[in-house]
């Protein structure tokens, strides 16, 4: 998984606390194809795509003809395949569905999934569910931080994209290296486009050492309809440059 894809997936999991509840006996071989839409949907800040989750399986030694998810709202729809292989057990898939017509919105969405497999004959499974749509907050840390003030502080770029209906809340960036740790503050701007903030982090004790990597972690906090929604990014090997 690419770093950007991981950021999106982590954002969705953070948003709704996704803990896939597979059907009982999910580890046993499944005699027929199955697909189950899960009650989660994450909306990209610009409405251009939606992330949904499905559980799916097909019997071993069968071939996948089709495995696709379709999402539909009034005035907008899209569909995307997902990479199902027939191993005989249920697996979870996070599927990014780009909009084909219109713009996706907050509210509710009809999610339908279809699996068709063959082995001499064809077999089919379908499922559909109306699920609530939650806004995603996308966060990305820069690959390197710049040392300042005799290595007692660093500045690091944090890029955030959040939905126009969200309001940015005070957010923290933590940069640590051994016993050296500091916290910087920023507030996301939410209008559906990407904004980059150069955040200064001062060490509470000690100094940062450019000979070693540091660790960075941020939660970008927003509020939508009275609910706090946040995005996360972390970097366990942050380069420090002079």
Tell the CATH superfamily of the 138-241 domain.
Immunoglobulins (2.60.40.10)
pLDDT for position 27: 52
pLDDT by residue for the chain (242 residues), tens digit each? 444 444 454 555 555 444 444 444 445 566 799 999 999 899 999 999 999 999 999 999 999 999 999 999 999 999 999 999 999 999 999 999 999 999 999 999 999 999 999 999 999 999 999 999 999 999 999 999 999 999 999 999 999 999 999 999 999 999 999 999 999 999 999 999 999 999 999 999 899 999 999 999 999 999 999 999 999 999 999 999 98
- Domain extent listing, the chain: 28-135, 138-241
Name which of 187, 198, 239, 235 is nearest 215 in CA terms. 235
Q: What is the Cα–Cα distance from 104 to 31, expressed in whole angstroms?
A: 36
Same fold, 28-135 and 138-241: yes
Q: Beta strands of 34-186 (E only): which ranges?
A: 34-43, 49-57, 63-73, 76-81, 91-98, 107-118, 122-135, 138-141, 144-148, 153-161, 167-168, 171-177, 180-186
Ramachandran assignment for 27, one of left (phi > 0), alpha (psi -120 to 50 degrees), beta (any other): alpha
CATH architecture for residues 28-135 = Sandwich (2.60)
């Amino acid at each position: 998984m690419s770093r950007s894809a991981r950021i999106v997936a982590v954002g969705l999991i953070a948003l709704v606390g996704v803990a896939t509840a597979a059907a009982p006996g999910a580890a046993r071989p499944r005699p027929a194809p199955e697909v189950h839409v899960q009650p989660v949907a994450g909306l990209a800040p610009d409405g251009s795509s939606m992330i949904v989750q499905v559980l799916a399986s097909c019997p071993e030694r069968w071939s996948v003809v089709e495995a696709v998810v379709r999402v539909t709202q009034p005035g907008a729809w899209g569909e995307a395949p997902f990479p199902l292989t027939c191993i005989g057990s249920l697996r979870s898939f996070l599927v990014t569905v780009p909009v084909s017509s219109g713009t996706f919105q907050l509210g509710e969405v009809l999610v339908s999934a279809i699996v068709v497999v063959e082995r001499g004959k064809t077999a089919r499974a379908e499922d559909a569910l109306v699920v609530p749509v939650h806004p995603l907050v996308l966060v990305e840390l820069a690959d390197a931080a710049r040392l300042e003030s005799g290595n007692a502080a660093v500045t690091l770029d944090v890029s955030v994209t959040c939905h126009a209906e969200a309001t940015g809340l005070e957010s923290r960036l933590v940069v640590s290296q051994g016993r050296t740790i500091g916290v910087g503050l920023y507030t996301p701007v939410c209008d559906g486009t990407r904004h980059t903030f150069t955040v200064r982090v001062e060490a509470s004790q000690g100094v940062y050492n450019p000979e070693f990597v540091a660790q960075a972690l941020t939660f970008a906090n927003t509020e939508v309809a009275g609910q706090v929604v946040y995005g996360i990014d972390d970097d366990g090997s942050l380069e420090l440059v002079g």
